[in-house]
Chain A
Amino acid sequence: SAVISQKPSRDICQRGTSLTIQCQVDSQVTMMFWYRQQPGQSLTLIATANQGSEATYESGFVIDKFPISRPNLTFSTLTVSNMSPEDSSIYLCSVFGFTGENTEAFFGQGTRLTVV
């Protein structure tokens, strides 16, 4: 299994500013994933963060808006830049961990962002 700590748990930010979200995992993992969950909607993958290389972004998400760092195998950050009210969402970090013979997805508790 994997235990993920995410900070901050929630924040209220002014439009035009940036927020950096931290994700710490209790074990070394190759890939870390960042998701966005807009109000009333399901999760959408933003990007995959690999240690030692550039993050891979999904369609509709760009590095200038969501820069990601991955300095080591247990830590990653996601920055939401130049925020607007449309960025108000829950942002979640995820990794895969072993449970017996399976690999399953584990999620942090999320960062609830409100942009005013």
Chain B
Amino acid sequence: KQEVTQIPAALSVPEGENLVLNCSFTDSAIYNLQWFRQDPGKGLTSLLLIQSSQREQTSGRLNASLDKSSGRSTLYIAASQPGDSATYLCAVRHGDYKLSFGAGTTVTVRA
């Protein structure tokens, strides 16, 4: 059974600092990995998707890396802003379309 772990569980940084969020998974036989953002009490917004054959993906201030062999992904958010405050979830997808989620990292960016 796939186990997905996200460290740290919570993170508080001053505005402008770079954020580093970690995601690890136990079964490297994944189809892809997706990073989501969730605001309190809301649904999920997709941020980045990395295919299993890729090493990284970038979108604006966001960069996600994937090391499938070691079962790790890292989400970098550059020059954080108060609007980046949210919970960030990583999810790994298997060939059967099922997603396994981590518990998330709750980020607070202080103005």
Contacts and interface: CB of A to CB of B under 8 A. Distances in A.
Interface of A: 6, 10, 31, 33, 41-45, 48, 90, 92, 94, 96, 99, 102, 104-110, 112
B98 A105 contact: no
18 contacts: A31-B97, A42-B102, A43-B89, A43-B101, A48-B97, A48-B98, A90-B41, A94-B99, A102-B51, A104-B34, A104-B46, A105-B34, A105-B91, A105-B99, A107-B36, A107-B44, A108-B43, A110-B42
Interface in B52-103: 89, 91, 93, 97-99, 101-103
B11 interface: no
Interface of B: 32, 34, 36, 41-46, 49, 51, 89, 91, 93, 97-99, 101-104
